Amino acid sequence: MKSLLLNTLVVLAGFISLGFVLILVADLQASGFSSRLLLAALAAFASWAFLSLATRPSRGTASSAIWVSAVLFLAGAATTAHLYKSEVLAWSAFIDLEEHHFEQALITLQRAKTDGYLPDRRRSSLEYQEGVTRLAYAVNYDLGDQQLIEALGQIDNASPNVVFDAIRTRALLLRALGAYPEALEQHRLDIESEIPRPRFGLLHRAQTYFVLGELDKALEDIETYDNLWPNEKTFSALYLVGRIDLELDRYPQAIQAFTEYLELNDQDFWPHIFRGCTYAKSGNYHEALKDYQMASQIWSESRRRKGDRTLSPSENWDKNRLDLETHTVKRWTEGILETDIQPEDLCANYWDYGDKYRERSPLLPTSTGSSTD
202 neighbors 229 (Cβ within 8 angstroms): no
Assigned domain for 160 exists: no
- CB under 8 Å to 369, separation ≥6 — which residues? 181, 182, 185
| Residue ranges making up the domain that contains 40 | 2-83
Domain assignment of residue 326, yes or no:
yes
Judge whether 18 lies within some domain: yes
Rg (CA), the chain: 28
d(CA 124, CA 142): 26
Helix (H, G, I), strand (E, B) or coil at 239: helix
State which of 83, 107, 125 marks the end of a domain. 83
With 0-12 / 13-18 / 19 or more C-beta atoms within 10 angstroms meaning exposed / middle / buried, residue 366 is exposed
Decide if 165 contacts 128 (C-beta within 8 A): yes
Consecutive H or E run containing 249: none
* Count of C-beta atoms within a 10 Å radius of residue 141: 16
User: Which pLDDT belongs to residue 314?
Assistant: 83
Q: Which sign, positive or negative, has the C-alpha torsion 28, 29, 33, 36?
A: negative
CATH code, domain carrying 332? 1.25.40.10
The predicted pLDDT at position 49 comes to: 53
pLDDT at 68: 58
Domain boundary among 37, 59, 83: 83
* Cis preceding-peptide flag for 196 (omega within 30 of 0): yes
Q: Is residue 218 in a domain?
A: no
Classify residue 272: in a domain, yes or no. yes
Domain boundary among 83, 112, 140: 83
Specify if 290 maps to a domain: yes
Q: What is the pLDDT at residue 31? A: 42
Number of domains in the chain: 2
In a domain, residue 265? The reply is yes
Weakly modelled stretches of the chain, pLDDT under 70: 1-84, 115-119, 159-164, 306-310, 353-354, 367-373
Q: Does residue 312 lie within any of the structural domains?
A: yes
